[in-house]
Amino acid sequence: MEVFVVGGSSLSHPTTPISVHNYSSSSTPPLSPSLFPNKNNNNNNRRRRLPSAWTKTKSPKLASKGGAFLSPSRRAAIIELQEASDLASSLSRLEGTIQAQGLNIVLRHFGELRRWKDVIQLFDWMQKHGKVNVASYSSFIKYMGKSLNPMKALEVYNGIQDDSIRRNVSVCNSILGCMIKNGKFESSIKLFDQMKKDGLTPDVVTYSTLLSGCIKVKDGFSKATRLIRELESNGLEMDSVIYGTVLAICASHKLCEEAEMYFQKMKDRGCSPNLFHYSSLLNAYSVDGNQMKADELIEDMKSAGLLPNKVILTTLLKVYVRGGLFEKSRKLLAELQALGHAEDEMPYCLLMDGLAKEGHISEAKAIFDEMKAKGVKSDGYSYSIMISAYCRSELLEEAKQLAKDYEDNYDKYDLVMLNTLLRAYCNTGEMENVMEMLKKMDKLAISPDWNTFHILVKYFCKEKYYQLAYRTVEDMHNKGHPLDEELCSSLILQLAHVGESLKAFSVYNMLRYSKRNLSNSLHERMLKILVSAKHLKEAYVVMKDNAELISGSSLAKFMMSFMKLGNINMINDVVKAFHSSGHRVGAKWVYLPRIGRIRDDGFSVTKQFKVTLMDMGDGHSEKPESRFKPKAGPHNSLTFSPPLSFWKEVFCLAVTRYVSLPEKKELLLHLLQWMSGQGYILDSTSRNLLLKNSRMFGQHLIAEAISKQFAASKNLRIQGTKR
């Protein structure tokens, strides 16, 4: 199919190297510059006491700053390097003039200007010429973290030979921060443990760095608690920065009470909260839309002399929206507009999303239109919210129209936007547009994520492109995304329905691999599919691993089919596996026995009584199936093995197969021997069949095997009656 080529190539786009790109690709569009430009107004204990000249200018021309302590020739060298059009030749010309200290100034200059190539080139040169010190390492590693190049940072860190540099606290903090910025929290914790073993003495900055990684990780709060405990046991104290981070951790993990607790603790310790601390706590209140507490907090903030700024008011809007207070929200939005704080789409997005999620979709659209009419520029968020809202409400045409509108007017795509558009086009069955989105993803080197795959598989299933759906699931699995059970179960059924049972089995296996707790019924469904498609070898695998989760009747059908049609070389294995699975679990073989009927059985039944030999005597009046009963519930404790008549039939079929293939004599004798060992004996029909054909197998051997069976059964019977 034509489609396949495009979709296939798109999705099998080579994965980008570990971690580095994966994080960058999921990043949101660039945000507006800091809303708190005058950071130094925070009266909290700033770590660095920089000369006032350093803090005033944020000019990249650092030569003027560090240059105060440098000789004129070195100052000139720094300026020349900063402005060099050919860095390499300037470096070789100035080699004798400039040392590590001056070069570090140039390195930081390039770093602040995000001239990553120059940073790397300069640092390489510095290393080659032995002009590096601790400061060079920590700055360089920091910038590699900022440029999303943690691999380079690690390469340099691992290459440090001098132990005193390797365990220098700045260098360590730098590499830990670099890894955390790039989403490698777990690895950074491991590295931190190793560093401590190697002699690092962590300081407040180390803990603050590690704590910042807890904001976005699962279970971040308990990880943070551990770090704080360690910090305190090392005699260190939490500072304003650390409180800010911890409050953000509480908010991102929806832990409102914990946030309040830390906020109070901070005040009690004489540390006055700044706007960041207030906004984190406010954000925690937005979790359950606690408007009362939010309003109180704003008052508290005002009386502490802090004016609510744009972010605080926007966060307050979030509290109102989450609390379902839409009228109050509208008023606050008007206030934001009046203050000039509604020039980007964020407050509109908050309100729209809240309205849409409460089902007020046309009111959400009205906000969207108002925003557009006001000429507020969009980074795609508002479109994404509206398109998703339409999709959720099954207003598919509207979703598609808005998607097209976005595409016609914007040329900005990230993964979320692409997924949103993809979903809109998939829902309306716009194949051309779907393919267009996939091409775009390819072109922009944006790797598909779980959502992308999920949208596509669902779409392909709906359109009955089962092969494509299958290939996409395979791709998804190979890229390490967990599979969705519901979607895969339906694909399994559909594949089976179009005669692709082996592909269905493959999906089943991928699903089993990626998901621990599958619903019990899936195994049975898979077994049924494979049995009816006569893929008995595969069915055997399903049976062997999941016998306890499959109903007796399905197992029985499988066994009968295998005995009749399965690979003759595997018959004994299947019988044994079935026997031992009954032994092992038997949980689904619920049988309400009439004890008088059953004498000995070979399986453990309950703790109260145990029977040891089954009587294969003829004359069972019940049909095999009638004695398989579904599990009645946890209190119906008589879990049981298959009834005797079932085994009778199994052995009869097995013997019939062997009789038809005398060259499998060894296997037949092996089965008979095994049966004796387990206390199973043949019924009269099978016995007669065997005796009739015993010539082919060697009369002597058959007679011997049958008499052994009798002997075994007698012994066991005697034991049974003694008990």
Task: Report the site for DNA in 348-387 (rule: CB under 7 A).
Answer: 349-350, 353, 379-381, 384-385
Query: Sign of the C-alpha dihedral, residues 427, 433, 438, 440?
Result: negative
Q: Which two tokens stand for residue 299?
A: 């008052």
Among 131, 142, 423, 687, binds DNA (CB under 7 A): 142
Footprint on residues 232-291 left by DNA (CB under 7 A)? 239-242, 244-245, 248, 251-252, 274-277, 279-280, 283
Among 329, 420, 452, 641, binds DNA (CB under 7 A): 420
Q: Which stretch binds DNA (CB under 7 A): 168-176, 257-265, 592-600, 701-709?
A: 168-176
Footprint on residues 23-52 left by DNA (CB under 7 A)? 28-29, 31-32, 34-36, 39, 42, 44, 46-48
We find the least distance from the C-beta atom of residue 633 to DNA, in angstroms, to be: 43
We find the least distance from the C-beta atom of residue 310 to DNA, in angstroms, to be: 7
We find the least distance from the C-beta atom of residue 237 to DNA, in angstroms, to be: 10
Footprint on residues 199-228 left by DNA (CB under 7 A)? 203-209, 212, 215
Among 74, 75, 108, 223, binds DNA (CB under 7 A): 108
Residue 630, exposed/middle/buried by CB under 10 A (0-12, 13-18, 19+)? Answer: exposed
| Residue 721 sits in the site that holds DNA (CB under 7 A) | no
Minimum CB distance to DNA smaller for 42 or for 572: 42
Among 345, 475, 484, 649, binds DNA (CB under 7 A): 345
Q: What angle do CA 150, 151, 152 make, to 5 degrees?
A: 90
Phi, psi of 604 (to 5 degrees): -75, 130
We find the least distance from the C-beta atom of residue 162 to DNA, in angstroms, to be: 13
Footprint on residues 177-196 left by DNA (CB under 7 A)? 177, 181
Footprint on residues 575-614 left by DNA (CB under 7 A)? none
Minimum CB distance to DNA smaller for 176 or for 549: 176
Minimum CB distance to DNA smaller for 133 or for 514: 133
CA 304 to chain centre: 43
Q: Which stretch binds DNA (CB under 7 A): 2-10, 173-181, 635-643, 696-704?
A: 173-181
How far, in Å, CA of 400 to CA of 432, rounded? 13
Q: What angle do CA 333, 334, 340 make, to 5 degrees?
A: 90
Q: Which 3-state string (H, E, C) describes 218-246?
A: CCHHHHHHHHHHHHHHCCCCCCHHHHHHH
Minimum CB distance to DNA smaller for 449 or for 683: 449
The residue assigned the tokens 């909290």 is: 44
Among 10, 90, 104, 678, binds DNA (CB under 7 A): 104
What's the chain's length in residues? 723
How far, in Å, CA of 674 to CA of 278, rounded? 76
Helix axes 169-181, 185-197, angle to 10 degrees: 160
534 contact partners, CB below 8 Å, separation of at least 6: 561, 565
Footprint on residues 287-326 left by DNA (CB under 7 A)? 310-312, 314-315, 318
Q: Which stretch binds DNA (CB under 7 A): 98-106, 290-298, 359-367, 580-588?
A: 98-106
Angstrom distances, CA of residue 532 to CA of 204, 263, 684: 66, 65, 31
Q: Which stretch binds DNA (CB under 7 A): 154-162, 411-419, 582-590, 683-691?
A: 411-419
Minimum CB distance to DNA smaller for 47 or for 714: 47
Minimum CB distance to DNA smaller for 47 or for 218: 47
We find the least distance from the C-beta atom of residue 137 to DNA, in angstroms, to be: 8
Burial code of 687-714, b = ≥16 C-beta within 10 A, e = fewer? bebbeebbeebeeeebeebbebbeebbe
274 contact partners, CB below 8 Å, separation of at least 6: 42, 43, 44, 240, 244, 306
Minimum CB distance to DNA smaller for 205 or for 575: 205
How far, in Å, CA of 252 to CA of 410, rounded? 31
> How many positions of this chain bind DNA (CB under 7 A)?
80
Q: What angle do CA 143, 29, 450 make, to 5 degrees?
A: 100
Footprint on residues 503-542 left by DNA (CB under 7 A)? none
Phi, psi of 12 (to 5 degrees): -95, 25
We find the least distance from the C-beta atom of residue 47 to DNA, in angstroms, to be: 3
We find the least distance from the C-beta atom of residue 126 to DNA, in angstroms, to be: 12
Among 6, 191, 325, 416, binds DNA (CB under 7 A): 416
Q: Are 500 and 466 in contact (CB under 8 A)?
A: yes
Minimum CB distance to DNA smaller for 82 or for 639: 82
